Amino acid sequence: MADKKIIRKSSLGELFKKIRSDGKRILAPVDRGGKILFEYVDSPGSIAPDYIQTTLSAKDTLLPRCEEMLRFRTEQKSVYLEESLNRPEPTLIFGVRPCDARSIAVLNAVYLINYTDDIYRQKIDTTTIVGVSCAKCDEYCFCTSVGGSPGDTAGSDMLLTQMDNDIYLAEILTDKGKAIAALAPELFAEGGDVDKNKHCADVPVRFDVKDLSKRLPGVFEDPVWIAQSLRCIGCGTCSYVCPACTCFDIQDETDGNRGVRLRCWDSCGFAQFTLHTSGHNPREVQSQRWRQRIMHKFSYQPDQLDVIGCVGCGRCSRTCPVDMNILQHITDILEVH
């Protein structure tokens, strides 16, 4: 049960100072020429004043685009491990939208459930999420169709909902959230027994995700995938902006007899994603890659990991250079099949 308090927007500067003094760096959404990006900030004055969704998610704090897994050196035919420099710094991510906070459950399912990835685990352990509910949405948002909502608390350690210009409802949800509130208890006042929903965006439910998951195996061989993907150029942007995409490639970079093993984001939209060394590619054409993206998120991950691999943030549709719209394609599948 969340502890509900009130905090003034004008008090956030003081809270940020306390968080910084506590040794945490703060990431928050900043406006960079119309792109809203998570950057390190010292004060709330740097935060973008008005946006629906950040252009990129904060996923790369937990799962960097390219990160060091280990270092090694070779001597003749032997390989020796060396100490890795990859140590996460305590970080607080402020202003995460509820859909993005929810996506952490998808990352956790992949990186913690069947196998504990220590590099990811360390980052999760040292990261605190302060979400901010959505007061606005656009035509690309569909969080309510995949189990979320504009004021969803899942994944946040503390969730702020703006009630009026200077007042936030603060829902303190986890021990990490309690630790943040305890840094400056004088800033958190009683009075949190309020209805936040009227301050949250109204995102209509656009499809039944359970029905979609049930029907997808039956349309595996359907020509719908060809029709939908004809204009997809396989650029991988949809995967790179997705807070819930988890695929990676591993590469070794060497310099003399020393090397670094790197884990870098990959995309099922790329032609080489499944290319075998033999030259055989089980997903030869783009329609098979597009099908994989939808099947993985809405059929395979719910079956295997009990999570939907999409949180309805809409970024893939907003940023696709050829206007592939995931929501439109899902509703088309459900209408026709």
Cα–Cα distance for residue pair 221/153, rounded to 1 Å: 38
According to the binding rule CB under 6 A, does residue 234 interact with ligand SF4?
yes
Pick from 134, 241, 330, 333 the residue near ligand SF4 by CB under 6 A: 241
Q: Which of residues 268-287 bind ligand SF4 (CB under 6 A)?
A: 269
The nearest distance, CB 176 to ligand SF4, in angstroms, is 24
Find where tokens 């790369």 sit: 60
The answer to whether 313 and 292 have CB atoms below 8 angstroms apart is no
Query: Which tokens in the block code for residue 4?
Result: 């509900």
According to the binding rule CB under 6 A, does residue 313 interact with ligand SF4?
yes
The answer to whether 177 and 158 have CB atoms below 8 angstroms apart is yes
According to the binding rule CB under 6 A, does residue 316 interact with ligand SF4?
yes
Numbers of helices and strands, H then E, in the chain = 12, 11
Strand order through the sheet with 25-32: 3-8, 167-172, 158-164, 127-132, 91-96, 25-32, 35-41
The answer to whether 55 and 31 have CB atoms below 8 angstroms apart is no
CB burial class (10 A; 0-12, 13-18, 19+) of residue 56? Answer: buried
According to the binding rule CB under 6 A, does residue 216 interact with ligand SF4?
no
- Which is nearer to ligand SF4, 168 or 225 (by Cβ)? 225
According to the binding rule CB under 6 A, does residue 147 interact with ligand SF4?
no
Strands (E), the chain: 3-8, 25-32, 35-41, 66-75, 78-82, 91-96, 127-132, 158-164, 167-172, 248-255, 258-265
Q: Report how far apart, in Å, the C-alpha atoms of 79 and of each of 75, 85, 260 are.
A: 6, 18, 12
According to the binding rule CB under 6 A, does residue 233 interact with ligand SF4?
yes
Pick from 134, 238, 307, 330 the residue near ligand SF4 by CB under 6 A: 238
**Beta-bridge partner residues of 167:** 8, 164
# of chain residues touching ligand SF4 (CB under 6 A): 25
Pick from 28, 187, 260, 326 the residue near ligand SF4 by CB under 6 A: 326
**Beta-bridge partner residues of 73:** 80, 258
According to the binding rule CB under 6 A, does residue 213 interact with ligand SF4?
no
The answer to whether 65 and 99 have CB atoms below 8 angstroms apart is no
The nearest distance, CB 146 to ligand SF4, in angstroms, is 7
- With CB under 6 A as the contact rule, which of the stretches 5-13, 89-97, 157-165, 315-323 interacts with ligand SF4? 315-323
The nearest distance, CB 106 to ligand SF4, in angstroms, is 8
According to the binding rule CB under 6 A, does residue 226 interact with ligand SF4?
no
According to the binding rule CB under 6 A, does residue 315 interact with ligand SF4?
yes
Cα–Cα distance for residue pair 274/270, rounded to 1 Å: 8
Cα–Cα distance for residue pair 12/62, rounded to 1 Å: 24
According to the binding rule CB under 6 A, does residue 91 interact with ligand SF4?
no
Pick from 232, 262, 295, 330 the residue near ligand SF4 by CB under 6 A: 232
Pick from 44, 148, 155, 312 the residue near ligand SF4 by CB under 6 A: 312
According to the binding rule CB under 6 A, does residue 110 interact with ligand SF4?
no
Cα–Cα distance for residue pair 170/190, rounded to 1 Å: 10
According to the binding rule CB under 6 A, does residue 324 interact with ligand SF4?
yes
Pick from 37, 189, 194, 235 the residue near ligand SF4 by CB under 6 A: 235
Pick from 137, 181, 295, 310 the residue near ligand SF4 by CB under 6 A: 310
Residues forming contacts to ligand SF4 in the complex (CB under 6 A) are: 232-238, 241-244, 269, 297, 310-316, 320-322, 324, 326
